[in-house]
Structure 1
Amino acid sequence: MRLVSYNIHKGIGGRDRRYRLERVIGVLEALNPDLICLQEVDRDVRRTRHDDQPRRFVEAFRSAAHLYQLNVRLKAGGYGNLLLSRWPLNAHHQVSLRLADRKPRGAQIAVVDSPEGPFHLVHWHLGLAEKERHWQARHLLDHHLFRESAHLPTLIVGDFNDWRNTLATGPFASHGFRQLTHPRSRFRSFPAYLPLTALDKAFARGPLTFRQVRIAHSRLARDASDHLPLVIDFHVDHRAQPPAQARPHHARHGTPPHKGLNP
């Protein structure tokens, strides 16, 4: 299975400042993911020609399920997080992570019904201040993960804005998560045209195995946004899940080449 987490900067290029959503779609099509987690997705905003970007992505990738979370409201429209899944979502909810009067932030939480078994997927975009980010991580991990399915493996992805990487030894360590995007020197994703900082991260807990975790570098990706995409190839280890969760397993080990959202 393949997941891509990508801050698309509203489809505005980091260097040329031009709005070209087709470039972002092209980057994603080349990566061919099963799950897409996008940050800074506009809807009905003047700077992006009042496009309904969530609708355009849903139509482009023909996803089986999708969630859009409008976090920042503007005079007209706003922007937020978008999750697209090749497979159904057994459960989902969206959480505000706004602290006091800081910019609104949010997290999307879903149980993905993958062919390899269900797992938690958390997708978020955290704040710019370190204390804010630590509060946001603790708020979600302490209060908002699904209690009724706490045994499921969990994958947390998004734009963490954690340039000093302090969350890894803070809230995530205390909740038993391991960082997939380490060392930072291998996961520099911002700014896209000359990546110096690792802002786009992933953490995991439970029976998940990872074939590859990488930042996607291509000419189109360097032009399409001010971030580069994070790509995660992984499997749910159904053998490690409790018997009550046993279900038909369609392993991808040794299967034909990866197929993403598009049939």
Structure 2
Amino acid sequence: MKIRVATYNIHKGVSSIGNRPRVLALKKAIGLFGADVVFLQEVQGKHDHFSAKFGAETRGRRQWPDGAQHEFLRGDMSHSAYGMNAIYDHGHHGNALLSSFPIASQTNDDVSDHAYEQRGILHCILETETCKVHCYVVHLGLFEAGRGRQTDLLIQKVLATAPPDEPVIIAGDFNDWRNNLSARLREALGVCEVFDELGKSNMIGDLARRLVGRGKTVNPARTFPAAMPLLRLDRMYVRGFKVEQAQVLHGPTWARLSDHAPIVAHLALS
């Protein structure tokens, strides 16, 4: 079985400067992924202010959907799940999963480290034609100590819910710009980051690392800010899959949609 997977922080469906609506363009862009499964962060389940401001029809179309963003954005994909994390007077947002495969079950665990950042882990089990696939949509906090505690909770969650013989995909915005979490996830869960897995085929680079004493390193892609990616914030970790291809989508089009660039990967069940 081969599947195409993407992860994308959509910045609540508005531009990072000026809060201009981007939901219609995001739907088209997500369709361009050609993905079977899409992991989304900062998805607006409800926002009364934006609905009132942008929901009216302009030039024959609405700029803001009537319902939740995850239902609107799934397009031709048949299934979606939403995990509500941040709740406020005029709405809420969280993580979401869009899937061409049936979602057999979903749970959302609160992993907020303090009252000012509401974070969660959305776990969905997909029923594919070959096997069950465990998907964990992640958006970790801005502070390093909190991210460490949230990573411990993620590890506990995966160990408790995904049997060792069933494949796993963990993807999202880890905010781990110093890359302190990859080794912990790899050792505890047996996962690999998709760009690191591709790098294993680079024998010259691996030899050079060994000669300078660095050993095996994990090199996630740069995804933030989308206009000129410098920081390695977004990740995709897999277990039970071979990574055939992975890329960051960047350029003027993507820079206008969100402050993060999306990652798309081709995976084959191993």
TM-score of the superposed pair, with normalisation by structure 2: 0.79
SS at 2:164 equivalent: coil
SS at 2:183 equivalent: coil
Partner in structure 2 of residue 54 of structure 1: 70
Q: Provide closer, same or farther for how the CA distance between residues 149 and 33 of structure 1 changes in structure 2, counting only shifts above 3 A.
A: same
Stretch moving more, 191-200 or 217-226: 217-226
SS at 1:169 equivalent: helix
Checking the alignment, whether the CA contact within 8 Å between 1:189 and 1:196 is kept in structure 2 is yes
SS at 2:182 equivalent: coil
Partner in structure 2 of residue 255 of structure 1: none
1:4 aligned residue (3, 6, 11): 6
Q: Provide closer, same or farther for how the CA distance between residues 148 and 169 of structure 1 changes in structure 2, counting only shifts above 3 A.
A: closer
Q: Provide closer, same or farther for how the CA distance between residues 229 and 56 of structure 1 changes in structure 2, counting only shifts above 3 A.
A: same
Shift of 1:15: 4.7
In 1: Cα distance, 2:168 partner to 2:158 partner: 13
State the Cα deviation string for residues 102-155 of structure 1 (Å, max 9, x = none).
411011112212234322111111111111111111112124545473321211
In 1: Cα distance, 2:50 partner to 2:95 partner: 16
2:256 aligned residue (198, 213, 223): 223
Partner in structure 1 of residue 206 of structure 2: none
Partner in structure 2 of residue 113 of structure 1: 127
Question: Structure 2: which amino acid aligns with 1:168?
Answer: S
In 2: Cα distance, 1:224 partner to 1:184 partner: 28
Partner in structure 2 of residue 125 of structure 1: 139
Partner in structure 2 of residue 253 of structure 1: none
Q: Provide closer, same or farther for how the CA distance between residues 24 and 173 of structure 1 changes in structure 2, counting only shifts above 3 A.
A: same
1:33 has 2:35 as partner: yes
1:87 aligned residue (101, 119, 140): 101
Runs of 4+ in 1 over 6 A off after TM superposition: 183-186
In 1: Cα distance, 2:189 partner to 2:71 partner: 35
Checking the alignment, whether the CA contact within 8 Å between 1:10 and 1:48 is kept in structure 2 is no
In 2: Cα distance, 1:4 partner to 1:148 partner: 21
1:202 has 2:229 as partner: no
1:191 has 2:191 as partner: no
Question: Structure 2: which amino acid aligns with 1:53?
Answer: Q
**How many residues in Structure 1 have an aligned counterpart in Structure 2?**
234
Question: Structure 2: which amino acid aligns with 1:85?
Answer: S
State the Cα deviation string for residues 177-203 of structure 1 (Å, max 9, x = none).
222244777611111111111111011
1:103-252 → structure 2 map (5 Å cutoff): 103-143=117-157, 145-147=159-161, 149-182=163-196, 187-205=221-239, 207-237=240-270
1:45 has 2:47 as partner: yes
1:97-108 → structure 2 map (5 Å cutoff): 97-108=111-122
In structure 2, list runs of 5 or more residues that go unmatched: 53-64, 197-216
In 2: Cα distance, 1:23 partner to 1:191 partner: 19
Stretch moving more, 71-80 or 142-151: 142-151
In 2: Cα distance, 1:223 partner to 1:138 partner: 34
In 2: Cα distance, 1:176 partner to 1:31 partner: 27
TM-score of the superposed pair, with normalisation by structure 1: 0.81
Shift of 1:86: 0.2
Stretch moving more, 121-130 or 171-180: 171-180
In 1: Cα distance, 2:162 partner to 2:149 partner: 24
Q: Provide closer, same or farther for how the CA distance between residues 3 and 202 of structure 1 changes in structure 2, counting only shifts above 3 A.
A: same
In 2: Cα distance, 1:56 partner to 1:107 partner: 21
In 1: Cα distance, 2:233 partner to 2:164 partner: 27
Q: Provide closer, same or farther for how the CA distance between residues 43 and 111 of structure 1 changes in structure 2, counting only shifts above 3 A.
A: closer
Shift of 1:229: 0.5
Shift of 1:71: 0.5
Checking the alignment, whether the CA contact within 8 Å between 1:184 and 1:198 is kept in structure 2 is no
